[in-house]
Structure 1
Amino acid sequence: MGHCGGQHLERPSVLSRLGWCESYGYEGPAVPAWTKPLTVPDSKTPACLKMGADRLIARREVYLREKTLWRMLYETAGRAEEILGVNIEALDLAARGPETGWDVHEYRHSALTHLGEQGASLLMLMAKSRHKKPENVRR
């Protein structure tokens, strides 16, 4: 499943189970009244396949500086302005991205999506993405 921090998806299941327990006379743990479901923000940024990113970076006809940029975007899940702000003279700062058909934000989003699919915690994803609110971590 391509979501991260799935606790917002589990809440209805837990409440359903508690309702079933109550209707059949079983005692279950109480869910605090103040709990509420988290809204899932819409993400328009698609995640690239990890294999696609690896193949793209492995292409021989691609210059090293582009490969470096792509790898940094993917591995760090950094924002384009963060990565391109790094003082490395060989990076193409004017173009602000590679000619791959993928937007630089898609690399960031892909890295976070793959970490989530591998079971990274919401806290880890927030730290990696530098989001301050859990609802801003997409998928």
Structure 2
Amino acid sequence: MGVVHRIGADLQAPALKDAIEGFLTGVSNPNTARAYAAALRALAEKFGPYTSVTAVEGEAAADRIAAWFIERWGSRSAATVNARLNALASACGWWRDQGWITEDPLRRLKRRPVEVDRTRSLDRAEVAELLGREGIALRERTLWRLLYESAARASEVLGLDVDELDLRNRRAKVRRKGGAVDVIVWRTGTARLLPRLLDGRRTGPVFTTNRRARVELPPADIEAGSGKARLSYRRAAELFEAATGGWTLHQLRHSALTHAAEDGANTSTLLAYSGYTSVASLARYARVSSEALARWQAGRDPAARKA
């Protein structure tokens, strides 16, 4: 049987290094880009940065990639393995879209099942992978990023109306648990998504259902122009847990507070960020991870600095 060649493919396909940089350039979130780069640049080291990206195709290449991946990350946690695999899969999918490759170079590898701990903080790589994942609807992408960037409770964010948003200053007034009015703030990622989600709307709930409400609801929970209802906490939680294999919306808040503590936020800042008035309430969410503690110790180690 003859071999089928893609006409002009080798002439058009860039070096692996350039293919990786091209993909990373299109990843808008810097945290996601950094997480993806760790896996992709390791791949370039294995195959050679100036080798054509087509080198990842073929049965021999698939075997080689699987053996390399298992050797490099096989002993790591399921979350790390899946995050690295997702990074490679996203890049390979993009390369296929460009017409540079036609196969799935990762076909020998499978995601690992994750034992879900619904109380723990997610690590930064997990959050970056989730928020940068392909194929997530705009509503969910905006909601999840806003929850993480603001550290707000899901009920607080789902209760937002469009006229409560200060898009220019990246903030909004929310009603905290217990009824106190407070302000949440967000970063560039959310600031880019919200105008797309609102699409010119000036009133009504920020997050709405995909269809018109089928039952009578209070006027405040209906978007007048479309008749769509405010998205419920139950539905938002169901969609999140289905997409993540069991994580909870609350874990985004938990993770945001933990990461802020790891980055050196003081107690006053964490209290304002969380909306708590009690340090005791804050303490359980702002526990620094063992990895962050190790980095802190390494940074204080005089011998390490001299080396």
Alignment of 1:1-139 (within 5 A): 45-86=119-160, 87-90=205-208, 93-94=231-232, 95-97=235-237, 98=240, 99=242, 100=244, 101-137=246-282, 138=284, 139=287
State, as a whole percentage, how many aligned pairs show the same letter.
41
- Where 2:236 maps in the other structure, the secondary structure is coil
Structure 2 regions of 5+ residues with no counterpart?
1-117, 161-204, 210-229, 288-307
Q: Which has the higher helix share?
A: 2
Give the direction of change, closer, same or farther, for the CA distance of 1:88–1:48 in structure 2 (3 Å limit). Answer: same
C-alpha separation in 2, matches of 1:54 and 1:90: 25
Structure 1 regions of 5+ residues with no counterpart?
1-43
Contact 2:152 2:274 in 1 (8 A): yes
- What do the CA deviations read for 1:52-93 (whole angstroms, capped 9, x no partner)? 111111111111111111101100000010011122144672
C-alpha separation in 1, matches of 2:278 and 2:250: 19
Runs of 4+ displaced beyond 3 Å: 89-92
C-alpha separation in 2, matches of 1:93 and 1:45: 24
Number of equivalenced pairs: 96
C-alpha separation in 2, matches of 1:49 and 1:121: 20
- What do the CA deviations read for 1:107-127 (whole angstroms, capped 9, x no partner)? 000000000001100111111
Give the direction of change, closer, same or farther, for the CA distance of 1:93–1:114 in structure 2 (3 Å limit). Answer: same
Contact 2:147 2:252 in 1 (8 A): yes
Q: Paired residue for 1:11?
A: none
C-alpha separation in 2, matches of 1:119 and 1:125: 10
Structure 1 vs Structure 2 CA RMSD: 1.7
Letter in 1 for 2:151: A
Quote the offset at 1:45 in angstroms: 2.5
C-alpha separation in 2, matches of 1:49 and 1:73: 15
C-alpha separation in 2, matches of 1:46 and 1:133: 21
C-alpha separation in 2, matches of 1:58 and 1:128: 23
How high is the TM-score relative to the length of structure 2?
0.30
